[in-house]
Amino acid sequence: MDWGSIFYLGVTFGLFAIFVGIVIRTYSKKRSNKLEEPKYRMLDDD
């Protein structure tokens, strides 16, 4: 393997790791938002 292929392999793994991190962060944020009480309700008549 030459340096070019090692570089591209590293870039590919780096982008994949960033993508997985974004997916995990989004999933955990959605899950924590479901557990919290909503701050406002659209159908409430006060």
Q: What is the pLDDT of residues 6-24, one digit of tens each?
A: 999 999 999 999 999 999 9
Quick one: pLDDT at residue 38?
59
Burial string for 9-45 (b: 16+ CB within 10 Å, else e) reads: eeeeeeeeeeeeeeeeeeeeeeeeeeeeeeeeeeeee
Q: What is the pLDDT of residue 21?
A: 95
Mean pLDDT of the chain: 81
DSSP 37: P
pTM of the predicted model, to two decimals? Answer: 0.59
Q: What is the mean pLDDT of residues 17-43?
A: 75
